[in-house]
Amino acid sequence: MTRAELLTLEKRHLWHPFTPMREWCDALHEPLMLVKGRGCSLWDSEGREYLDGNSSIWTNAHGHAHPAINAAIADQLQRVAHTSFLGFTHPPAIELAKALVDLFPSGRLSRVFYSDNGSTAIESAVRMALQYWQRNGRPERDTLFSFDGGYHGDTLGAASLGGLPVYKGSGNDFGYKVICVPSMEALHALPEVAIARLAGVIIEPLVQGAAGIRTWPAGMLKQLETWCGERDVFLILDEVMTGFGRTGRMFACEHEDVIPDFLCLAKGLSGGYLPLAVTLTTERVFEGFLGEGQTFYYGHSFTGNQLGCAAALASLKIFKDEAVIEHLAEKVKTLTQLLGILRDHPHVKDIRQCGLVAGIELCRSREPLVDYDPAERMGAKVCLAARAHGLLTRPVVDTLVLMPPLCVTDAQMERMVEALRLAIADVIG
Ligand SMILES: *Cc1c(COP(=O)(O)O)cnc(C)c1O
Please say whether the beta carbons of 420 and 384 come within 8 A.
Answer: no
Residues with CB under 6 A from ligand 1: 58, 117-119, 122, 151-154, 204, 209-210, 238, 240-241, 266-267
pLDDT at 298: 92
Which burial class, exposed, middle or buried, applies to 213 when counting CB atoms under 10 A from its CB (0-12, 13-18, 19+)?
A: buried
pLDDT in tens, 120-154: 999 999 999 999 999 999 999 999 999 999 999 99
Identify which has the larger pLDDT, 415 or 160: 415
Q: What is the mean pLDDT of residues 85-90?
A: 97
For the cut 60, the answer to whether the pLDDT of residue 418 exceeds it is: yes
pLDDT at 168: 65
pLDDT in tens, 379-416: 999 999 999 999 999 999 999 999 999 999 999 999 99
Q: Which of 119, 120, 161, 239 to mutate to test the pocket of ligand 1 (most atoms within 8 A of CB)?
A: 119
Q: Which of 146, 152, 236 to mutate to test the pocket of ligand 1 (most atoms within 8 A of CB)?
A: 152
How, if at all, do strands 214-215 and 177-181 pair? unpaired
Q: What is the mean pLDDT of residues 255-275?
A: 98
How far, in Å, CA of 358 to CA of 352, rounded?
A: 6
State in Å: Cα 119 to ligand 1 middle: 6
177-181: strand order across its sheet: 109-115, 277-282, 262-265, 234-238, 198-203, 143-147, 177-181
Contacts with 179 (C-beta within 8 Å, 6 or more apart), sequence order: 143, 144, 145, 146, 190, 194
State in Å: Cα 109 to ligand 1 middle: 21
How far, in Å, CA of 272 to CA of 26, rounded?
A: 31
- The string of DSSP letters for 331-390 reads HHHHHHHHHHHHHT-TTEEEEEEETTEEEEEE-SBTTTTBPPPGGG-HHHHHHHHHHTTT
- Output DSSP code: residue 114: E
Least confident residue range of 170-179, 349-358, 398-407:
170-179
State in Å: Cα 338 to ligand 1 middle: 28
pLDDT at 155: 87
Q: How far is CA 26 from CA 8, 136, 144, 270, in A?
A: 11, 56, 43, 35
pLDDT in tens, 196-209: 999 999 999 999 99
pLDDT at 347: 97
Strand residues in 124-176 grouped as ranges (E): 143-147
Identify which has the larger pLDDT, 212 or 167: 212
Average pLDDT across the chain, whole number: 96
- Output DSSP code: residue 237: E
Name the CA radius of gyration of the chain, rounded: 22
The CB density around residue 289, as the number of other CB atoms within 10 Å, is 15
